Amino acid sequence: MTDLPIYTEEHTMFRMIIREFVAAEMTPYVNEWDEAEEFPRGLYRKTGAVGMFGIGFDAEYGGLGHHDAVLLTILAEEVARCAAGGVGASLLSNYIGAPPIQNGGTDDVKGEILPGMLSGDLICALAITEPSGGSDVANLRTTAVRDGDDYIVNGSKTFITSGMRADYVTTAVRTGGPGASGVSLIVIPAPTPGFTRTPLKKMGWWCSDTATLYFDDCRVP
């Protein structure tokens, strides 16, 4: 499967780098991490150092400079070789939390978050699902109400991957009326007063960080 015509030399080199990295830095430890229900935060920095976080992010922030779905697929395939799904789930939450920042964030927000995320110093999560349901995003209940230059966020999110450790949570909130058109994304830093979180136990993916998040008059600039 790795010699299909879609693969360029860059793809093959990337695959080999990630394969070696996973074999050395993940596979020997995954049982221990699953039992501990977490993996070391230092794994993010090691992962950033081999360029695993940069696909689809601007070069000025330390990214690859272009999007490549084949590279992302190779990344997912090779991380899966460690044989513990929770590692890839949490480690790669940056790839769901940070693309909205890359695509819609102001230059200031991108400059604040993306370099640290790409180096593995910062962790991003994406918070869409709520205790009332995850499929029906158009009817989500968490609100963000404008107050001067800030937004005041109230509500709750659940099943959030990297929820306990994330430094920035890209959060779906209602800023407008009912339905999908009233939903926006807001980036909530942690810690922020009024933002608390609790870990969730799971049947699988034990070492993946999964949490419920609570926003109680949480003021976000």
Ligand X SMILES: Cc1cc2nc3c(=O)[nH]c(=O)nc-3n(C[C@H](O)[C@H](O)[C@H](O)COP(=O)(O)OP(=O)(O)OC[C@H]3O[C@@H](n4cnc5c(N)ncnc54)[C@H](O)[C@@H]3O)c2cc1C
Q: Which is nearer to ligand X, 135 or 149 (CB)?
A: 135
Which residues within the stretch 28-67 sit at the binding site for ligand X (CB under 6 A)?
Answer: none
Smallest separation, CB 10 to ligand X (Å): 29
Q: How far apart are CA 205 and CA 89, in angstroms?
A: 8
> How many other CB atoms are found less than 10 A from the CB of residue 135?
7
Three-state DSSP at 121 gives: coil
Output the residue with the shortest Cβ distance to ligand X. Answer: 134
Stretch of residues binding ligand X (CB under 6 A), selected from 30-38, 77-85, 147-155, 158-166: 158-166
- Do the Cβ atoms of 90 and 208 come closer than 8 Å? yes
CB closer to ligand X out of 135 and 181: 135
Output 51 or 123, the one with its CB closest to ligand X: 123
Instruction: Mark residue 219 as left, alpha or beta (left: phi above 0; alpha: psi -120 to 50; beta: remaining).
Output: beta
Element holding 32 (H helix, E strand): helix 30-36
Would you say 159 or 214 has its CB closer to ligand X?
159
Binding site for ligand X (CB under 6 A): 125-129, 133-135, 159-161, 202, 205, 210
